[in-house]
Amino acid sequence: MALPKHAVIFQQLHQAIKRGEFKHGARLPSEVALARRFGASRPTVAQALRDLQRLDLVERHRGAGSFVRSAPVTAGALGLLADGLGATEVMEPISVEIARAARAQGWDVVIGAAVADRSPEAVAAEWAGRGVPGIFFAPLEHHPVRAALNRALAEAFRRKGLAVVLLDRDLGEFPERSTHDVVAIDDYFAGYDLASHVLAAGARRLVFIARPEYPATTDLRVSGAQAAVARVDGAQLQFAVGQPDEVAWVGRLFRRVPPDALIASNDATAARLLQTLATLRQRVPADVRVAGFDDVRYARLLSPPLTTMRQPCAALGAAAVEVMLGRLRQPHMPARRVLLRAELIARESTASTSPR
């Protein structure tokens, strides 16, 4: 009894894949080309491709075509390239959690620091030479042309065949988006939640403070804070860029109508602000409330202890590894943005006070 046409096409494509005529990850001919090759209709070819997909031999992506599924991922080593590792506290625990989650899947993690004084091609060649199939990349933050350099690094990794998962932020400036996977906190809602907290404590005149060359995550946090302020009658938000340890600059913020809450772009900025406010004899929280982001180790040890948005480091690490392994299994799937909600940690620095 003759097989249906779609079954014949299925068998021939299946045998061709097993013989290696189509390599792992290779794009199959289009449905039109296959229909011409086998003298069949496109629906008949599509049925054969669906049968191959059910056997996990083929993956299909709308608008991109059908691809031979990549060879099963075997455990080895993954790369982690993080700007600020050792200089900023938040990347360290996230890196630790990535390594922990990777080990649970049988992978090691090789950690390196971003190198801004070498060509992207040299950096990518070094990582490819280490035999890693993918790299977690926290884009450079403090560099005069960071967006262009970050894009060049990511493209160099891609040319070397390395899968890339971005950590904490995207490659370019807000609101640009790249075509890479991103795992981070939802910075917009972090800004919204923190501003909502200080507004609920009675603050109405908010100033969001960032140091020069702030990252795109700050833009998102400011946008979220602005959304929270817009919901409260009489509330206002100013965005100020300067050095938090410069007494003269911080002092100018308190002229005319003094703010009653300062939201710092991160805990390190908030810590410097607290020292400057002490010099200016501005009491926290009696005269002005102060809050930050990240919940670094020393945040609760500051005087007063700092209200902040805690990064869910363990969840970020697990999500980053899951996204990376998915990318290695299916290199042609659309890019994903996995954004996790930060947790408000309310401490004394934003406590409600009686009216002045």
Average pLDDT over residues 113-126: 83
Which H/E stretch holds residue 10?
A: helix 5-19
Q: Report the predicted TM-score, pTM, of the whole model to 2 decimal places.
A: 0.78
pLDDT class of 356 with cuts at 50, 70, 90: very low
Residue-wise pLDDT tens digits, 130-162: 999 999 999 988 777 888 999 999 999 999 999
Could you tell me the two tokens for 339?
């954004």
Using an 8 Å Cβ cutoff, are 39 and 49 in contact? no
Which of the two residues, 226 and 58, has the higher pLDDT score?
Answer: 226
Distance CA 179, CA 151 (A): 10
| Percent over 70 (pLDDT), the chain | 94
Q: What is the pLDDT of residue 114?
A: 63
Amino acid identity of residue 245, one-letter, is D
Distance CA 194, CA 355 (A): 21
Maximum distance among all alpha carbons in the chain? 94
Cβ contacts of 262 within 8 Å, gap of 6 or more: 206, 207, 209, 253, 270, 273, 288, 289, 290, 291
Question: For the chain, what percentages of helix, strand and coil (3-state, to nearest 5) are there?
Answer: 40, 20, 40
pLDDT class of 220 with cuts at 50, 70, 90: very high
Residue among 297, 294, 290, 299 nearest 349 (CA) = 290
Residue among 194, 193, 353, 174 nearest 263 (CA) = 194
Using an 8 Å Cβ cutoff, are 205 and 261 in contact? yes
Residue-wise pLDDT tens digits, 304-335: 999 999 999 999 999 999 999 999 988 988 99
Q: What is the pLDDT of residue 134?
A: 96
pLDDT class of 4 with cuts at 50, 70, 90: confident
Could you tell me the two tokens for 189?
């809602």
Greatest mean pLDDT range, 59-73, 264-278, 294-308? 264-278
pLDDT at 126 over 50: yes
Q: What is the pLDDT of residue 355?
A: 46
The dihedral sign for the CA sequence 29, 32, 33, 37: positive
Average pLDDT over residues 270-282: 96
| Percent over 90 (pLDDT), the chain | 65
Distance CA 276, CA 118 (A): 37
Residue among 175, 130, 183 nearest 157 (CA) = 130
Q: What is the pLDDT of residue 74?
A: 56
Using an 8 Å Cβ cutoff, are 188 and 224 in contact? yes
pLDDT at 19 over 50: yes
Distance in angstroms between the alpha carbons of the first and the last residue of the chain: 92
Domains of the chain: 5-68 (1.10.10.10), 77-185+313-341 (3.40.50.2300), 187-311+344-350 (3.40.50.2300)
Residue-wise pLDDT tens digits, 62-105: 778 898 876 655 578 999 998 666 555 678 889 889 998 998 88
pLDDT at 9 over 50: yes
pLDDT class of 25 with cuts at 50, 70, 90: confident
pLDDT at 280 over 70: yes
Buried/exposed code over 12-40 (b: 16+ C-beta within 10 A; e: otherwise): ebbeebeeeebeeeeebeebeebbeebeb
- Residues listed for the chain: 356
